Amino acid sequence: MFQGASALNLDAKGRMTIPAKHRDALAVQCEGRITLTKHPHGCLLLFPRPVWESHREQIASWPMSARAWQRIFLGNACDVDMDTAGRILISPELRSAVGLTRDVMLLGMGSHFEIWDADKLAESEAQAIENGMPDALSNFSF
């Protein structure tokens, strides 16, 4: 179960270092084999490869009426491996698609991660707060 936020930087080649706490878990869970894909909310999704493979099968079975969404998720999927320093290379196409430059946020979302441009994430969270809690969460409390 991945959780928590990490402020990270992309290097000049577009590599991101996975924080040690997650790097170790990814090494055990998937031997550092990862899949990245685009999300329509403006971030990237980072999956341990075995988790992605189950999602990939589900997405591939969607009906033709969902072909555009298959293109978003499957058409943009990119398999990457962590190097010995715990870094992953994010392709220029994926970086460009979601506006990643230097300052990024890695968010643990349970079975996977989201990778956001830091400023875009702050804007998205501010907008969510401004819009208020959705009805689906009306009974939620700590």
In a domain, residue 7? The reply is yes
Predicted local confidence at residue 54, as pLDDT: 94
Q: What is the pLDDT of residue 59?
A: 96
**CA dihedral sign, ordered 83, 87, 88, 93:** negative
In a domain, 141, yes or no: no
Asked whether residue 142 carries a pLDDT value surpassing 90, the answer given is no
Instruction: Give the per-residue pLDDT at 140.
Output: 85
Domain total of the chain: 1
Q: Is residue 138 part of a domain?
A: no
Burial of 46 from C-beta contacts in 10 A (0-12 / 13-18 / 19+): buried
The pair of structure tokens assigned to 136 is 């689906």
Q: Which residues of 12-24 are buried (b: 16+ CB within 10 A; e: fewer)?
A: eebbbbbeeebbe
Asked whether residue 140 is assigned to any structural domain, the reply reads: no
pLDDT at 87: 97
The range of the structural domain enclosing residue 22 comes to 2-133
Question: In this predicted model, what pLDDT tens digit does every residue of 24-58 receive, in sequence order?
Answer: 999 999 999 999 999 999 999 999 999 999 999 99
- Give CA–CA dist 125/105, Å, rounded: 13
pLDDT above 90 (res 139): no
Using the predicted structure, report yes or no on whether residue 11 has a pLDDT greater than 90. Answer: yes
- Are 25 and 32 contacting, i.e. CB atoms less than 8 angstroms apart? no
User: Is 142 within a domain?
Assistant: no
Helix (H, G, I), strand (E, B) or coil at 29: helix
Does some domain include residue 42? yes
CB count in 10 Å sphere of residue 64: 6
Residue 46: which CATH number? 3.40.1550.20
pLDDT confidence tier of residue 64, bands split at 50, 70 and 90 = very high
**Across all residues in the chain, what is the average pLDDT?**
95
127 alpha carbon, distance to own chain's centre? 20
- Is residue 141 predicted with pLDDT exceeding 90? no
- What average pLDDT score do residues 4-32 get? 95
